[in-house]
Amino acid sequence: MLLQPKKIPIHVGHKFIAVVNQKVAQMLDVYIADRVILKNTTRHTQTTAIIDITESKTIDNNDIGLYHATWEELKTKRGDRISITTAPKPESIAY
């Protein structure tokens, strides 16, 4: 799924966090704190991020909100497209 990035000017250290709305979360079958793989298809960068879900209208069905560290890690610029896929669950949660 390709989404338009929106910068969220919140600094949370070196944690990579992305925000999608409820509809996108349902389509991806992701829940709060799940891990996702984000790829900037324009700049060919990628990272794993923690997902957050919003009910706010500021993040539309075609948008993905990126906290400051995530925006920087992906070298995002306005007009880029971000690919989002679910990441495998860590082995540690199976124990």
Task: Tell whether the model's pLDDT for residue 94 goes beyond 80.
Answer: no
End-to-end Cα, the chain, rounded Å:
31
Rounded to whole angstroms, how far apart are CA atoms 1 and 16?
A: 19
Confidence category of residue 93, pLDDT binned at 50, 70, 90: confident
Task: Tell whether the model's pLDDT for residue 65 goes beyond 80.
Answer: yes
Task: Tell whether the model's pLDDT for residue 44 goes beyond 80.
Answer: yes
Confidence category of residue 10, pLDDT binned at 50, 70, 90: very high
Percent of the chain with pLDDT over 90: 89
